[in-house]
Structure 1
Amino acid sequence: MVIKENIFSFLTLILLAAVAPALAFAQELQPVPGVIHLESQAAGSPLSFAEVVERARKAGMRVVVFNDKYNNRVEYGLPPLRHLFRKFEERGSIRGYGADLYLQEINELARQHPDMLILPGAEVGAFYYWAGSVSAFVGDVLSREGLSRLLVSGKGDKEKIGKFDYRQNQVDRGLKVVNFHKDMLVLGLEKADDFHNLPTVSNRKPLIVAWSSLLNLWPLPLLVFALARLFPPRRATPYPYALAAQPTATPKAPEPLSTGLRRARKSSMMLIVISLLFLVNNFPFFQPKYDQYHGDQGSAPFQDLIDYVNDRGGLIFWSAPDISTGVFQAGPMLMETRPYSSELLTTRNYTGFAVFAEGMKSSGIPGGIWDKVLTEYVHGDRARPVWAIGELDYDVGDWLGETQTVFMLRELSRKDMLAALREGRIYAVTGSAKVPKPVLKKFQIWDEAGQRWAEMGETATVRRPTRIKIELIVPPEAPALELRLIREGAIVWNTEITGSFNEIIELDYQQKKGMTYYRLDLDSQLIANPVFCRLPTASPAL
């Protein structure tokens, strides 16, 4: 037991020595451990911002990224006045806490801890939709439990419908909210307004500003007509009373006209009430681009979110693409979020995705969706590569540090940390929070053009054979691990290691032109981002 503790202390000292505030060491990159997707008091966690940071410090983390839920609200409105006759449930979120206060408190913590990097971010669900009938709404949403059960911690009841064939009729017939937990992680936004205007269905943004929006003013002519009918212009000598004013005329009671006026007034009042209700319901008259009542809108709402974040200089990652939530019973309703790893292929220009803990079923495995995306990039079918991170989704407990994103930094600064995320100078590692993790010191490819070692995320000009440098520090008590190199989805080299590893590998890859990449996978516990290779113009092979 003493030996294990000494080993753990030894490895911890190695890592901390590498990232001590003297990170002002030369230009050599050093691994800095961090955690992404921590939750706090803003989203209902029992822990304050300071308590989360202190736990991260004790776990040996030097980078802390908060990603509280931006908008934790679910709503159902009855047609045709969905914005007036509605029921909603909202739990802890950045929107409810206040984006200004959220940014202020996290940035203040960052100033108090200069030896750490503490950043604000958000977990954002751009879109969800309702499936089911209005009659189901009456029976389900307006029930005593209603929407409140949809937002309990844990994303639904403990009961998971794994094999729900026998309940398929209920699944198809009843009311359910779909894709409420289809989320993305946003960071790098510095202004509160950038949070306020996030394009999400709960925010009713983005709004469509077009001539068609004038149709939402249709109650206005009706209101004018009703008011004109209720208060008609007075005539100088109304006909029925002109006769009554003559001495020889017999006065006539105007019952038919009075009855007509009363009816006109009643109908006018009704029209006024109806038109005012619809005017209030339609305000601000610009239609949101998406709502939750017209079924699945595919990738479009999420692509809008990606574009919005990119336009403001932020970073955005798909969260838990291989999610296993499935279908949950939530009070009288169902909550359904299926795996959405296919979005890695259908959306563009996002920064990356979380390979741990919910990304290694189909996305991050060799030959999985990530490899397909990277292959699109090297073949010229995609403008940007996609990086892998680890996300913790931590709110409380003793498992902080279980999943880490390790940043390869030249200096301990927010600027270099964000640059590492943007450029792919990161790797993800997972395992028990109480056991030391492998440390990847180097994963590089020799660049013939620059006469240097290219880092993760960079592109090297290579000749045959390709020289790949790998330096791994593995805890001595760790079991045998398989070290793999993956190129365009195929495992092209592998070996079993039982301790630390430091070698230069040479691979002979025959390719006449173009680009390729190599990425490192240590037994599905440590995933490094790729180094790209470009064939020199005059060379016949790679």
Structure 2
Amino acid sequence: MKIFKISLITAILAGFLQAGVLFTPETTVRTAMHLHTTYSYDCTYSVEEIVARAKAKGLDAAIITDHDLIEVKYGVFPLRRILRAGLELNSVFDAGVDKYFSEIESVQEKYPEMLVLPGVETSPFYFWETKSKALVLNDWHKHLLIFGLSAADMKKLPTTGNKNSWKYRPLLLWPLLLVLLGFLFFKRIYLVKFGVVLIIIGGIFLVNNFPFTAPDFDQYSGYQGSRPYQNVIDYTAKRGGFTVWAHPEANSNIDFPVVTSVQGRFFNLGLNLSTPPYPEAITGTENYNGINLLEEGYKTIGRCGGLWDKVLAEYSTGERKVPAFAFGETDYRKEGEGIALDGIQNVVNAKKGDKKEFLKALKDGEFYVLKKGILPAIPVLEEFSEAGNIKISMNDGSKKKLTVTLIKDGFVQQIADGITPFSMEFKVLVPEQGKSYYRLEAVLKDGGMIISNPVFIESSAEKIR
């Protein structure tokens, strides 16, 4: 087994970069991801206000992901499209995708020093079922973040509620048979009444089925596993976009008791919104670009030996074609609620203001995730050189205790305690065949954290990809 030396901490923090690349002020793009504006029903700030706030906090890029569609509907069988009730709140599709993209583009022109990317947070699929006298809306909060698509492609995102993506279904024309049969009955006087009934029934169902389109997966088809989500992932990947799993360890369970009175008697007709954590989606889908490990994805997915390591190992062995990188999200809606706008950052190695280079760096994993601690100072990657001289320091020059954990192929390789500015070298073992990968976690005593993306060591080329 051949051995060569490289500054592994730096290499990992920089993702798939070649040795000798520096995280200079010009090539460090601090990015906030999963931001909501007034295009989402429960948010306070406009697109421009969000971008202005991001700039004021020292961020260089903002990936805005408003809800694409907030609409749930329940219809009574067999006339589900006529006898139905539902809820619809303001969203990107409600306001108009073109308007949404146009406003973000306008703000981008006003703030050329910032990168502002339009995206959406989508619920690809939900389904209804009845449990214990309650109507349950399942998996409504099982979300993907989508960005990097054109407005035209975004309009046709294949989700359950997006009618623009529904396909023509000839079988929905079946009521025509009833209508035709009804007219045939007119040939016999004693069957005319039956014919009229058939025509009326057929007409009602034609109205119900119009315009004879339906989604690939509807809300009455029950649990469908990973298929609806893989459908959205594949659609996005085919068009060059990004798909990132959002808050996969979040638990959303909300009860809405509905009390009604019938002839003086009260009945509790409960409505339950249930989306348990969905870590199984990480291994059950493929070809997505990443997983939001911070804030709600680290406990079972991002930890050493967790599902993220399983996915990375599958990429190393060739079972997966696309590696899943670590992302960080804020799910930001309003200052003072939840995570701060700059509380979790994706630090990308790309030229500031260069959208093409920025997207390529995200696609190649040339970034790391940063979580701020309770103190104002944040850890930064100061140097990355071929000589193996690396430094992790605080942006205000202060001394902070930290613990660095090196992980190789899902197992702890080494743990080192130190004080910033921190520097260290590791020996990288090149596998005799196949690939290995290393990744890094750095935890500060004030709660700050860095999660690197993996660096893969390839035996044949004896280089880092």
Do the aligned partners of 2:157 and 2:235 also contact (CA within 8 Å) in 1?
A: yes
Aligned residues: 420
User: Is residue 2:450 matched to residue 1:526?
Assistant: yes
Calculate the aligned-residue CA RMSD, in Å. Answer: 2.5
Q: What is the distance in 1 between the residues matched to 2:283 and 2:67?
A: 25
Asked if 2 retains the 8 angstrom alpha-carbon contact of 1:31 and 1:440, the reply is: no
User: Does the C-alpha gap of structure 1 residues 470 and 27 become closer, same or farther in structure 2, counting only changes over 3 Å?
Assistant: closer
Report deviation, 1:493.
1.5
Deviations along 1:364-408, one digit per CA (max 9) or x if unpaired, are 111111111111111121111111111110011142111111111
* CA–CA separation in structure 2 for the residues paired with 1:121 and 1:208: 24
- How far is 1:216 from its partner? 2.3
User: Which residue does 1:487 correspond to in 2?
Assistant: 408
Seq. identity, %: 33
User: Structure 2: which amino acid aligns with 1:177?
Assistant: L
Aligned residue for 1:215?
Answer: 171
How far the C-alpha of 1:505 sits from its partner, in A, is 2.3
Q: Are 1:364 and 2:302 counterparts?
A: yes
Among 295, 300, 303, the residue aligned to 2:227: 300
Matches within 5 A, 1:468-479: 470-474=390-394, 479=400
Q: Secondary structure at the match of 1:180?
A: coil
Q: Distance in 1 between matches of 2:198 and 2:251?
A: 51
1:463 alignment counterpart: none
Q: Deviations over 1:182-213 (max 9, x none)?
A: 0000010122x21221111112575566xxx4
Do structure 1's residue 270 and structure 2's residue 197 form an aligned pair?
Answer: yes
Q: 2:121 aligns with which of 120, 123, 130?
A: 123
For residues 367-382 of structure 1, what are the structure 2 equivalents within 5 Å?
Answer: 367-382=305-320
Aligned position for 2:330: 392
Give the Cα separation in 1 of the matches to 2:143 and 2:64: 15
The answer to whether 1:420 aligns with 2:344 is no
Assess, with a 3 A threshold, how the Cα gap between structure 1 residues 517 and 180 changes in structure 2: closer, same or farther: same
1:291 to partner: Cα distance: 0.9
Q: Check conservation: 2:28, 2:352, Cα contact below 8 A.
A: no
- Determine whether 1:39 maps to 2:33: no
Tell me the SS of whatever aligns to 2:292: strand
Aligned residue for 2:87?
89
- Among 370, 373, 392, the residue aligned to 1:429: 370
Higher relative contact order by CA 8 Å / sep ≥ 6: 1 or 2? Answer: 2
Letter in 2 for 1:522: A
Instruction: Rate the CA distance shift 1:66–1:478 in 2: closer, same or farther, 3 A.
Output: farther
Q: Give distance in 2, aligned partners of 1:411 and 1:396.
A: 26
Give the match's secondary structure for 1:42. coil
| CA distance, structure 2, for counterparts of residue 400 and residue 61 of structure 1 | 9
- Matched residues in 2 for 1:335 and 1:532: separation? 41
The residue number in structure 2 matching 1:320 is: 247
What SS does structure 2 have at the residue aligned with 1:321?
coil
- CA 1:514 to 1:225, structure 2 compared with 1: closer, same or farther past 3 Å? closer
Aligned partners of 1:76 and 1:87 also within 8 Å: yes
Alignment of 1:309 onto 2:236: yes
Are the structure 2 counterparts of residues 49 and 207 from structure 1 closer, same or farther at C-alpha, using a change threshold of 3 Å? Answer: closer
What aligned pairs does 1:13-24 form with structure 2 within 5 A after superposition?
A: none
Inter-partner Cα distance in structure 2 for 1:486 and 1:203: 42
Residue 217 of structure 2 aligns with which residue? 290
Look up the equivalent residue of 1:32 and give its one-letter code.
V
| Residue in structure 2 matched with residue 224 of structure 1 by the alignment | 180
Q: CA deviation at 1:441?
A: 3.6
Gaps of 5+ in 2: 1-19, 258-269
Q: TM-score normalised to the size of structure 1?
A: 0.73
User: How much has 1:491 moved relative to structure 2?
Assistant: 1.2
1:420-444 CA deviation, whole Å, 9 max, x = no partner? Answer: 1111011111135862221124568
Of residues 18, 40, 47, the one that matches 1:49 is 47
Aligned partner of 2:138 in structure 1 is 178
Alpha-carbon distance in 1 for matches of 2:47, 2:234: 29
Distance 1:205 1:131 in 2: 26
Q: Which residue of 2 aligns with 1:99?
A: 97
Question: Would you say the 8 A contact 1:439–1:472 is kept in 2?
Answer: yes
> CA–CA distance in 1 between the matches of 2:462 and 2:323?
26
Partner of 1:502: 423
Which structure's CA Rg is the greater one?
1
In structure 1, what is the Cα distance between the partners aligned to 2:426 and 2:462?
A: 24
Whether the 8 Å CA contact 1:31–1:441 is kept in 2: the answer is: no
On the 8 A contact 1:481/1:498 being kept in 2, the answer is yes
* Aligned mates of 2:431, 2:426 — CA distance in 1: 18
2:153 to 160, 180, 194: 194
CA gap 1:477/1:324 in 2 versus in 1, 3 angstroms = farther
Whether contact under 8 Å (2:185, 2:194) holds in the other structure is no
Question: Once the 2 structures are TM-superposed, how far is the Cα of residue 472 of structure 1 from its aligned partner?
Answer: 1.1
Output the amino acid matched with 1:530. Answer: P
The C-alpha deviation readout for 1:212-243, integer Å capped at 9, x for no partner, is: x443222112212324545x5xxxxxxxxxxx
Q: Spell out, residue by residue over 1:138-196, the C-alpha distance to the aligned partner (whole angstroms, 9 max, x if none).
A: xxxxxxxxxxxxxxxxxxxxxxxxxxxxxxxxx544211111010000010122x2122
Looking at structure 1, the residues matched to 423 and 191 of structure 2 have their Cα atoms a distance apart, in angstroms, of: 92
1:463-488: CA deviation from partner (whole Å, max 9, x where unpaired): xxxx9664212355565221111111
Relative distance call for 1:435 and 1:187 in structure 2 (3 A) is same
Deviation at residue 55 of structure 1 after TM alignment? 1.1
TM-score (norm 2): 0.84
1:404 is matched with 345
Measure, in 2, the Cα distance between the counterparts of 1:526 and 1:516: 21
Q: Note if contact 1:28-1:410 (Cα within 8 Å) is conserved in structure 2.
A: no
**Structure 1 unaligned runs (5+)?**
1-25, 133-170, 233-259, 445-452, 454-466
- What CA deviation, in whole Å up to 9, does each residue of 1:29-55 have, x standing for no partner? 432211011100111212111111111
